[in-house]
Structure 1
Amino acid sequence: MPELIINGPAGRLEARYHHESASDSPIALILHPHPQFGGTMNNQVVYSLYHTFVERGFSVLRFNFRGVGRSQGFWDGGPGELADAACALDWLQLVKPDARSCWIAGVSFGTWIAMQLLMRRPEVEGFICVAPPSNLYDFSFLAPCPSSGLMINGDIDRVVPSSSIAELTGKLKTQRGIKIDHEIVPGANHFFEGKMDELTDIVGRYVDMRMTQIPKEKEKAKASKEPPPPAPAEVEPGDEEE
Structure 2
Amino acid sequence: MSDEKRSERLIEGPAGQIELIIDEPSGPPRGVVVVSHPQPLLGGSPHHLVPLTLARKLCAEGWRVVRPSFRGVGKSTGVHDGGIGESEDSIIVLKHLQRSYPDLPIALVGFSFGAHVFGRVVCALEDTLHAVALLGLPVGLVPGGRLYEPLALPVECLLLHGEHDEMAPLANLLDWARPERRPVVVYPASDHFFKGCLAQVAQHVARHLNHAS
Give the alignment of 1:115-134 within 5 angstroms.
115-121=119-125, 122-134=127-139
Partner of 1:200: 202
- Alpha-carbon deviation of 1:114? 0.3
Shift of 1:22: 4.2
Pair 1:51-2:56 in alignment: yes
Q: Any stretches of 5+ residues in structure 2 without a counterpart? A: 1-5, 142-147
Q: One-letter code of the match for 2:121?
A: L
Q: In the TM superposition, what are the counterparts of 1:17-32 in structure 2 within 5 Å?
A: 17-19=22-24, 22=28, 25-32=30-37
Match of 1:106 in 2: 110
Q: Is the 8 A contact 1:31 1:63 kept in 2?
A: yes
Conserved 8 A contact 1:126-1:147: no
Residue pair 2:46, 2:67 contacting (<8 A) in 1 also: yes
In structure 2, the residue matched to 1:162 is 170
RMSD of aligned alpha carbons: 2.1
Q: 1:171 to 1:102 in 2, by over 3 A?
A: farther
Number of residues of Structure 1 aligned to a counterpart in Structure 2 = 200
CA contact (8 A) 1:128 1:149 kept: yes
CA contact (8 A) 2:53 2:199 kept: no
Where 1:124 maps in the other structure, the secondary structure is coil
How far apart are residue 18 of structure 1 and its match?
A: 2.6
- Alignment partner of 1:169: what SS? helix
- Please tell me the residue identity of whatever aligns with 1:203: V
Cα offsets for 1:167-194 (capped at 9, x unmatched): 3333455xxxxxx542111222112233
For residues 24 and 128 of structure 2, the distance between their equivalents in structure 1, rounded to whole angstroms, comes to: 20
**What's the CA shift for 1:33?**
1.1
CA, structure 1 residues 188+69, in 2 after alignment: closer, same or farther (shift >3 Å)? same
1:26, distance to aligned residue in structure 2 (A): 1.9
Q: Which runs of 5+ in 1 are unaligned?
A: 174-179, 215-242
- Structure 1's 152 and 95: CA in aligned 2 closer, same or farther, altered over 3 A? same
- % same residue: 27
- The 1:52/1:185 distance shift into structure 2, 3 A limit, reads same
Match of 1:186?
A: 188
In terms of mean alpha carbon deviation, does 156-165 or 105-114 score higher? Answer: 156-165
For residue 148 of structure 1, give the secondary structure of its aligned residue in structure 2.
coil
Q: Could you say what secondary structure the match of 2:157 adopts?
A: strand
Q: TM-score, normalised on structure 2?
A: 0.84
Greater than 6 Å deviation, 4+ residue runs: none
Contact 1:15 1:62 in 2 (8 A): yes
AA paired with 1:124? L
Q: Structure 1 CA distance, aligned partners of 2:189 and 2:206?
A: 19
Structure 1 residues 145-174: Cα deviation after superposition (integer angstroms, max 9, x where no partner):
34512111111211222222223333455x
Matches within 5 A, 1:140-155: 140=151, 142=152, 145-146=153-154, 148-155=156-163
1:9 to 11, 14, 17: 14
Q: For residue 91 of structure 1, report the CA deviation from its aligned partner.
A: 1.6
